[in-house]
Amino acid sequence: MKKVLFLSALLVLTSCMSTKITTEIVEMTYADIIQIEDKEMSKGTQKVEEAIPEIKEIKKEITTDFFGNKQEKILDEVIIQHFVPKKIITGIKDVRVRQEVIKDQEIVVEQVEDKTLNKGIEKVVQEGKLGEVEITYEDIYYKGIFDRTQEVSRKVLVESEPKIINIGIKEVKTRTVVFTDQELVVVRQNDATLDKGVEKVIQAGTLKKVEITYEDIYFKGVLDSSKEVFRKVLVQAVDKIIRVGTKEITTSNYLNYSNNDLSWWYRPGTPTATIDSKIAALIAKYNVYWQIPTTQKVVYLTFDEGYEYKQNTLSILNTLKTKGVKATFFITGGYYSSHPELVKKMMAEGHQVANHTINHYRASTVLNQSTQKYIDDVVNLDKLVPGLVKLHRPPEGGYSERSLKILKDLGYKTVFWSFAYRDWETANQPDPVAAKQKILDNIHPGSILLLHAVSDTNVSILGDVIDGIRAKGYTIQQLPR
């Protein structure tokens, strides 16, 4: 029974209890203080940052019973703002200002190249000056301990000036050169006692020779200029005097000489080539070369030039230049008219250029027509081509006693040969190996070699032939005049 009454009473009391949910904002401040040192604030200064309170949102459940008693139960807490303690910031930066005068340790030296001063000479044109600068610094200390320095201003007290030294780069070299005139002044004098077409040298002439001293100016090893400082004549020029015959040749005088058509031939052999004794007796009277009487190991290289084939002559000239050989070229009037530049090149490179007639007529054939026609065919080439030497090679090797007499009277030496071979047929060229051996097997002291420039074989073997001649102990010279 009692138990029933208790439960009933408890039920009544429970039914009289009330419950509610509340939310409140609570602000809380604490007494914490933080001391902070600030390196950016000067020593002796302070800055206070007040505390920031903590703010909470608190959710509670409040229950009130029959007797008015309350019970609170925290259901949730949310921090809206965290507490930040009060900060007292104290500066610890100690700035100390100082000034310093800095003087350059040494004068800057500038070297300037001077073309007016000789190499090795130096000239001070500005002594130079040491610079002075006043610099203001801020030295930064923290709590009495040095941390760093910073420059805040700079003032130039004395402007620096470099020491300037001019360095001579001019080098003067003295040289002496002897110049010889390239050609003689030729004076031609008419002589009525000499046959027309005949020329006689009565004064050989002398080339002027001058010694010139130069000063060559170099800058840093490179030639800049030259100037003549002295001139001395070593040899005075003397004109070459030539008497030129004006006496008309009486062509009838030559009719007493045989005009039988002869062709040049020789017998190959050792130690020298030979010719028939009758021919030897005939040519002995008329200034004829076919080999040069000598015991010296010397040979003479000659080329006949009737026309140009491919560019063989240019190749021949290049080979002769490379090998350092001077030769004799017998040219026709037709060749000169077609290729004057090659003839000028021959002369410019020191070769002899000689007479092979204007029209390449065979001597006896044209003499049967007219003595004057033959004479004109020879001497007119000298008029056409200045600088020809007085050497004549008869076309085709054809001659007669009459032609030899006329050539002698005209002042020419007739040049035949002691070696020739069948090299003139451009479509039927000899084998190069056999040709080279044939040439080298037939040289002897005084040999006059005849080669045709139209021959491709001659062009291809010329360098080796020259080497072979020299290997046998021979030198190659120009024909004596």
Query: Per the residue annotation, which of 195, 304, 382, 409 is the catalytic one?
Result: 304
Integer Cα distance of 477 and 481 in angstroms: 12
| Interior angle at CA 428, CA 427 and CA 430, nearest 5 | 135
Residue 67 backbone phi and psi in degrees, to 5? -95, 0
Integer Cα distance of 167 and 156 in angstroms: 31
Residue listed under structure tokens 């240019």: 314
Q: Look up 441 and say whether it is catalytic.
A: no
Integer Cα distance of 416 and 280 in angstroms: 12
DSSP 215-265: EEEEETTEEEEEEEEEEEEEE--B-EEEEEEEEPP-GGGGGGS----EE--
Q: Look up 339 and say whether it is catalytic.
A: no
**Tokens linked to 42:** 């000067």
Nearest to 415 by CA among 442, 441, 388, 454: 388
Strands 122-126 and 70-81 turn out to be unpaired
Q: What burial class does residue 20 get, using C-beta atoms within 10 Å of its C-beta: 0-12 exposed, 13-18 middle, 19+ buried?
A: exposed
User: Hey, which residues does 59 pair with through a beta bridge?
Assistant: 23, 76
Query: Per the residue annotation, which of 224, 356, 452, 456 is the catalytic one?
Result: 452
**200-231 per-residue burial string, b: 16 or more CB within 10 A, e: under 16:** eeeeebeeeebeeebeebeeeeeeeeeeeeee
Q: Say if residues 132 and 161 touch (Cβ distance below 8 Å).
A: no
Give yes or no for a cis peptide into 394 (omega within 30° of 0): no
| Residue 458: other Cβ atoms inside 10 A | 26
Give the residue numbers annotated as catalytic, written as ranges: 304, 452
